[in-house]
Amino acid sequence: MAQTFLKVNGLKVAYGGIQAVKGVSFEVREGELVSLIGANGAGKTTTLKAITGIQPVAAGDIEFLGRPIKGQGAWDLVRQGLVMVPEGRGTFTRMSIIENLQMGAFVRNDKDGIAADIEKVFGIFPRLKERAQQLGGTMSGGEQQMLAMGRALMARPKVLLLDEPSMGLSPIMVDKIFEVVNDIHQRGTTILLVEQNASRALALADRGYVMDSGEVTMSGPANELLADPRVRAAYLGE
């Protein structure tokens, strides 16, 4: 059985007196693409922020590559290979595409490897190569999403966390982004995908977890969740 890369157990997160995440547990194994789906406000993004050290954890445990990481900063976690593409993309708007990608490799000092990885990213996202000197802030939302994903890949993640990569994009760009997520996974990257577009997320995934009001309410193989009438009624509009 594949090694567990990321394990979350009994995670609780509170904002003031409001408990946003109420004892969530899940795991991501080596080589998997795991989707965490749920309605807006279910606690998905808060869960990712807690895992990556951006949001304080009230209770529970988080393990990465078999070691506890709760309370560690995002900087340290990127060094260890846990890398997130945040909701809203967060590109450096006044830097060029190439500078954004170089920023993604800030934890590395292997110049040749960095240059080779920039070419790999350009292979995945040809549109970025065409516009390598363009400023990040002048690109469309879909292009900025590609740039944010490319920048994350530059850190050579062992687990890539994607927070709502299709949000706010045109249907054509949504197709492209999911195609790229699948491509990155097929190339061997382990992925935790947080996504409101449940049907697309589960269609790509090996396994899935459903979050509702801060709790995991269902889990299982992605194809079984996709076929489950409760999931179809709640998240696929059937």
Mean pLDDT to the nearest integer, 184-193: 96
Question: Per the domain annotation, does 151 fall within a domain?
Answer: yes
123 contact partners, CB below 8 Å, separation of at least 6: none
Any bridge partners for residue 28, and if so which?
6
Residue 86, pLDDT > 70, answer yes
CATH code for the domain in which residue 36 is found: 3.40.50.300
Question: Per the domain annotation, does 24 fall within a domain?
Answer: no
Mean pLDDT to the nearest integer, 78-96: 89
Question: Per the domain annotation, does 53 fall within a domain?
Answer: no
Residue 96, pLDDT > 90, answer yes
CA distance 88 to 122: 22
104 contact partners, CB below 8 Å, separation of at least 6: 150, 151, 152, 153, 154, 155
Q: Are 89 and 167 in contact (CB under 8 A)?
A: no
The pLDDT, as a whole number, for residue 216 is 97
The pLDDT, as a whole number, for residue 203 is 95
110 contact partners, CB below 8 Å, separation of at least 6: none
Mean pLDDT to the nearest integer, 41-67: 95
Per-chain mean pLDDT for the chain? 93
Q: At what angle do helices 111-124 and 97-104 cross, to 10 degrees?
A: 120
The pLDDT, as a whole number, for residue 64 is 97
The pLDDT, as a whole number, for residue 238 is 65
Question: Per the domain annotation, does 15 fall within a domain?
Answer: no
The pLDDT, as a whole number, for residue 7 is 98
Q: How many domains does one find in the chain?
A: 1
Number of Cβ within 10 Å of residue 70's Cβ equals 17
The pLDDT, as a whole number, for residue 15 is 87
Question: Per the domain annotation, does 64 fall within a domain?
Answer: no
Mean pLDDT to the nearest integer, 69-78: 91
Mean pLDDT to the nearest integer, 214-233: 95
Q: What is the pLDDT of residues 137-179, one digit of tens each?
A: 999 888 999 999 999 999 999 999 999 999 989 999 999 999 9
Tokens 């509009």 belong to 237
Question: Per the domain annotation, does 190 fall within a domain?
Answer: yes
Q: Are 64 and 225 in contact (CB under 8 A)?
A: no
Strands (E), the chain: 4-15, 18-29, 33-37, 59-64, 67-68, 82-85, 159-163, 190-195, 207-212, 215-221
The pLDDT, as a whole number, for residue 2 is 82
Question: Per the domain annotation, does 227 fall within a domain?
Answer: yes
Question: Per the domain annotation, does 157 fall within a domain?
Answer: yes
User: Which is nearest to 61 in space by CA: 20, 18, 6, 15?
Assistant: 6
> Beta strand 82-85 with 159-163: parallel, antiparallel or unpaired?
parallel
Domain span at residue 156?
32-45+73-235
> Which class for 20: exposed (0-12), middle (13-18), buried (19 or more C-beta within 10 A)?
buried
Residue 52, pLDDT > 70, answer yes
31 contact partners, CB below 8 Å, separation of at least 6: 2, 188, 190
The pLDDT, as a whole number, for residue 179 is 94
